[in-house]
Amino acid sequence: MRRWGLALALLLSVGVNIGILATLAVRRGGALNRPDRPHPEKPGPMAEEPPLRATRLADRLGLEGEQRRRFLRLQGRFFAETVRLRTEQAEVFRELRRELAAPEPDRQKIEELTRASARAHLALQQAMVKNVTATREILDPDQERLFLDIVSRLPPPGLGGPQQRPRRPPFWQPRRQRLGDRP
C-alpha cells in the first residue's frame, strides 16, 4: 500500500512539473491572456498537435497505429489543459501578490483569490490523475511499466531538469535493488 502512495505522489508531482514547463513555454512565446490581445475563440495549435515530448514518449513506448493515435490525442489534450490551468493559476497568483502589496489589502478579495488558487491547483492534480489513469488503460503491461518508470523519474516541483538529480530505479523494485545492494 505504501508503494502505491509513493507512486501517486510521484505522479501528482509530474503534473505540477508539466504545468510549470508549459507555463514557461507559454510565457516565452508571449502571454496568452494579455489585455491588449483578443482571446482566441477556438483552441490553438497546441490542442491539435501533440507536444514533441509526447511524440518521443510514444516512440520510446513503442506505440503504433490506433494505440499511438489515442495516446498522442490524450497527451495533447492534457498538455493544452495544463497550459490553460497553469496560465489561470499564474494570473491568480499575480493578482494575489498585487492585493497583498496594496496599501490597504482587501481581506475578502485575498480569501477569494486564495480559494481560486487552490481550485486551480486541485484541477491540475485532477488532470494529472485523469491523464495517467487514462494512459495506463491504453498501454499493455510492459508499456505501462515503462511509462510509470518514466513518470516516476520526473523531478519534483521546484527542481530543475533530471540532470540536477541522480536517476533512480523504478519504485516497484525491491528497496535493496534500488539502493544498489548497499548494506
The least confident of 6-10, 16-20, 36-40, 84-88 is 36-40
- pLDDT tens, position by position, 106-118: 999 999 999 999 9
- pLDDT of 4: 65
Select from 135, 150, 129 the least CA-distant residue to 72.
135
> Which pLDDT does position 145 carry in this prediction?
93
Radius of gyration of the chain (CA): 19
pLDDT for residue 98: 93
Domain boundaries, the chain: 49-156
What percent of the chain is modeled with pLDDT above 70? 58
Rounded Cα distance, 180 and 49, in Å: 41
Q: Residue 154 in 3-state DSSP?
A: coil
* pTM score: 0.57
For residue 41, pLDDT beyond 50: no
Using the predicted structure, report yes or no on whether residue 50 has a pLDDT greater than 60.
yes
Higher pLDDT, 6 or 84: 84
Cell triple for 74? 490524450
Q: How many CB atoms lie within 10 A of CB 173?
A: 12
The verdict on domain 49-156 having CATH code 1.20.120 is yes
